[in-house]
Amino acid sequence: MGNVLQILGFNDDAIIAKLHVDCALNESQIETFKMETAFDEITILKYYHVWKNYCECLADLENKGIIRGELELTGEEFLNIPCFAISPLKKQFLRCIPSKNGSGNHTGNVDFPAFMRLMAITNGDARVADKLKFAFQMYDMDGDGKVEIEDLILYLTAVTDFDEDTKQQQEEYKEFIIRAAKTTFEELGRDDFLRIEGKVSLVSKFFFSCV
């Protein structure tokens, strides 16, 4: 595909120039995103236009008669993005967006920088420690900073699609999930909970056990 684009005259410079059209990002902002996300300029510009389209399609542009000009979405609007709307963990994705300084999670409306931080952690070359932290938070269903058996049961229930028809099948399905969660913790030698701090190897083993 790359060779075809080059033959047609669409080299990187031409693509970048095209993507800069109707793009509000300046060079300083793009350089900042490159450092924070490890994405190249083309990827950042593509994500910008994707985000702009999401905002134009999903944002409630009229708020008490005032047109919202910011490229941001409320939490509810964000969850209507197609790839998140179909996910059983969509609320977890929203809650686990990293904050700007990386010490916590984003709060308030979701803007383009927050969207980019989420893309970097889920689709980019973020540090392993950051990816582990994000994954841990996804399993931490109640957001209390630790993963307990109850969290794992809720997670597995959400992501597992069993075609249960009868009440007996539903009960068997629940029992299977509970056994799987308990077995995972037993294999880790834990009967209480996991925390992310200081237990990277154990947390890594936990994720591999859940795959």
Rounded distance between C-alpha atoms, residue 128 and residue 201, angstroms? 12
What is the predicted pLDDT for the residue at 184? Answer: 87
What is the pTM assigned to this prediction?
A: 0.82
Q: How high is the mean pLDDT of the chain?
A: 83
User: What are the Cα distances from residue 135, in Å, to 12, 62, 119?
Assistant: 34, 36, 14
What is the predicted pLDDT for the residue at 65? Answer: 42
Give the tens place of pLDDT for each residue, 152-180: 999 999 988 777 677 788 888 889 999 99
- Residue entry with tokens 């936990």: 206
The low-confidence residues of the chain, meaning pLDDT below 50, are: 1-2, 5, 7-8, 64-67
The answer to whether the CB of 62 falls within 8 A of the CB of 70 is no
What is the predicted pLDDT for the residue at 74? Answer: 93
Rounded distance between C-alpha atoms, residue 112 and residue 25, angstroms? 10
Length of the chain: 211
What is the predicted pLDDT for the residue at 67? Answer: 47
Rounded distance between C-alpha atoms, residue 170 and residue 161, angstroms? 12
Rounded distance between C-alpha atoms, residue 86 and residue 115, angstroms? 18
- Report DSSP letters for 183-206, one per residue: HHHHHTT-SSEE-STT-HHHHHHH
Domain ranges of the chain: 27-126, 140-211
Fold of 27-126: Recoverin; domain 1 (1.10.238)
